[in-house]
Structure 1
Amino acid sequence: MRVLIIGASGYLGTAISERLAERGHEIVELTRPTSAGSGRGNERRVGDMTDPASLTAAVTPDIDAVINLAGPTGDAAADAAAITALTEPLRGTGRAFVYTSGVWVLGATGAGTADERTPVNPLPIVGYRPDIERQVLAAAADGVRATVIRPGIVHGRGGGIPALLVSLAAKHGAPRFVGDESVRWPMVHVDDLADLFALVVEKADPGTLWHGVTETAVPVTDLAAAAGRAVGLTAAPESWPLEQAGAELGRLFADALALDQSVAGQAARDTLGWTPERPGAVADIQDGSYR
């Protein structure tokens, strides 16, 4: 398959591009006019998420699948227009379109564990993303093999939000987490997540939604302690008051870091044969790629 990836040079895009190439697929990168792309020798096409015509032009008949890893622009109308532009050339063809969302659309999950059937209750930072999810999945009725993946908090390769925990520990001389010590994060290794994207691109049914989660609910205190040990600190993790964290990180992002969630990712294992095998988040942060 020839797979057009929006965001191929990013943290997640790099892992997905590598995995798809290993499985024999050809990567085509969609980059902004000012970007040099990943530098991995892939074909490069130019487009902008705020320029619908450039997006439609990039999805030529030789493209078998599109993976959208671009984050929200903050403009709901612009993001909806981008989805329309990317999926229009795919209508009636059965070609694949994969949209990347995230578990923050679920909001706080309470005492239970959320799965793909759980109603959404998005945080303000991702407030209109469920509307985009619905728009994507509706394209399945028009002959697009449209799917949505909601990753958990991604770790691995020294990147993602866990890198912030490591940076905070080093900066403040003690492990830190935002908000309450009862907070839990659903986690996934970036390379396991790349495996899931490959499976979804290759064989997921149209109109399906998948949670990319390997660890349902990891205590944030455990993650912060691991981040401290990664930089040689053995002190107990300390809570960073939400108001202070918001002043430094932005209040919407700080609220997301303080979100308590338990999210299951079993459906992809049962249906697609996803078999995550990389280290868990605590081990990876403490002894792996973040040291």
Structure 2
Amino acid sequence: MKVLLTGATGYIGSAVTDHLHAAGHQVVALTRSAEPQPGRGWDAQLVGDTADPASLAGAVTSDIEAVIHLAPPSGDAEVDTAVIEALAAPLRGTGRPLVYTSGVWVLGATGEAQEVGEDAPTNPIDIVGYRPRIEQAVLAEAAEGVRAVVVRPGIVYGRGGGIPAILVDRARTQGTPEYYGEEGVRWPTVHVDDLAELFVAAVERAEAGTVWHGVGESAVPVRELARAAGRAAGVSTAPHAVPAEQVAEVFGPLFADALALDQSVSGGAARTALDWKPNHPGVIAELESGSYRPAAENTTVAD
């Protein structure tokens, strides 16, 4: 397929590009600038900005066989709804896929429930407050002949990036690992390359009107994740909890709430129905012996 990819320059977009190519697909990157970006491996490059829906007119040409929308939300529900309209309209009646990237934060805290699935009701925290409405706008396109699909990644890690990289950097700069919220907070996680494989599976095989959780490990204790981030940073002290007020001062209140969110989310449906096979190391192993270790080269182990 020839796949139009928004967010192609980003952390997840780079991995998705690699895995689309490995599966034999072509990637047309939508970028804000026409300036060439050597080494990206794209087959073509189009100019458009998902913060400006009008700029997307004509982006989905007749030879585009699929669209993966990875670009982050603008923060304006009307703008993001208009982006979905611009991307979906040329696909109507074709049966071609439109894959939208959401996230598990739309579920809110999962409480005592273990490994909630895609049928769980949404209860979004403020940082993703309107995103369920965008999900529904995407899924509604199934009635218009679009193979509309929503993917909700967990906390993405691997290739030295994602939120775990923040924990490594904080451990290095503060001299001690830290975590946020209550001691029992858990994060659903997914390796970025496993997630990229899920996007390929969604483009190739997911049915219209479906939602998929991109989760490799359903509930990783964040205190243990912080401990592993400390090891990656060369810091051996025990992790400590950061008070909510201090977290908000450092990261802002919206992101602070997300970091303190306790969730247990299942990614089993995609394994069964899409034959998705996440096989990369878990986040703890990745932090301790994988792509985050170079961060420790210029640090010393604390007493």
Fold in common (TM above 0.5): yes
Tell me, what secondary structure is at the counterpart of 1:57?
Answer: coil
Q: Distance in 2 between matches of 1:166 and 1:51?
A: 35
Is there any run of 5+ residues in structure 2 with no aligned partner, and where?
294-303
Q: Which residue of 2 aligns with 1:56?
A: 57
Q: What TM-score, normalized by structure 1, do the two folds share?
A: 0.98
Q: How many residues align?
A: 291
Q: 1:52 offset after TM fit, Å?
A: 2.3
Q: Which residue of 1 aligns with 2:112?
A: 111
> Of 134, 140, 143, which residue of structure 2 is paired with 1:141?
143
Tell me, what secondary structure is at the counterpart of 1:164?
Answer: helix
Q: 1:56 offset after TM fit, Å?
A: 2.9
Amino acid at match of 1:101: S
1:224-243 map, 5 Å: 224-243=226-245
Q: Which residue of 2 aligns with 1:94?
A: 95
Q: Which residue of 1 aligns with 2:289?
A: 287
8 Å CA contact retained: 2:223, 2:239 = yes
Amino acid at match of 1:95: R
Amino acid at match of 2:19: R
Q: 1:41 offset after TM fit, Å?
A: 4.5
Q: Which residue of 2 aligns with 1:13?
A: 13
Q: 1:159 offset after TM fit, Å?
A: 0.1
1:31-70 map, 5 Å: 31-33=31-33, 36-37=36-37, 39-42=39-42, 43-70=44-71
1:83-111 CA-partner distances (Å, limit 9, x unpaired)? 00110000001111000000000000001
Q: Which residue of 1 aligns with 2:185?
A: 183
1:247-288 CA-partner distances (Å, limit 9, x unpaired)? 011110011000000000000000010111100000001111
Q: Which residue of 2 aligns with 1:263?
A: 265
Cα distance 1:38–1:221, how it changes in 2: closer, same or farther (>3 A)?
Answer: farther
Q: Which residue of 2 aligns with 1:201?
A: 203
Tell me, what secondary structure is at the counterpart of 1:146?
Answer: strand
Q: Distance in 2 between matches of 1:185 and 1:217?
A: 5
Q: Distance in 1 between matches of 2:34 and 2:178?
A: 36
Q: Which residue of 2 aligns with 1:75?
A: 76
Tell me, what secondary structure is at the counterpart of 2:79?
Answer: helix
8 Å CA contact retained: 2:17, 2:41 = no
Q: 1:71 offset after TM fit, Å?
A: 1.1
Q: 1:179 offset after TM fit, Å?
A: 1.4
- Over the matched positions of the two proteins, sequence identity in percent amounts to 60
8 Å CA contact retained: 2:103, 2:151 = yes
8 Å CA contact retained: 1:8, 1:37 = no
Q: Distance in 2 between matches of 1:167 and 1:85?
A: 38
Q: What TM-score, normalized by structure 2, do the two folds share?
A: 0.94
8 Å CA contact retained: 1:116, 1:210 = yes
Alignment RMSD (CA, Å): 1.1
Is there any run of 5+ residues in structure 1 with no aligned partner, and where?
none
1:157-180 CA-partner distances (Å, limit 9, x unpaired)? 000000000011001100001111
Tell me, what secondary structure is at the counterpart of 1:27?
Answer: strand
Q: Distance in 1 between matches of 2:21 and 2:277?
A: 19
* Corresponding position: 1:165 with 2:167: yes
* Corresponding position: 1:85 with 2:94: no
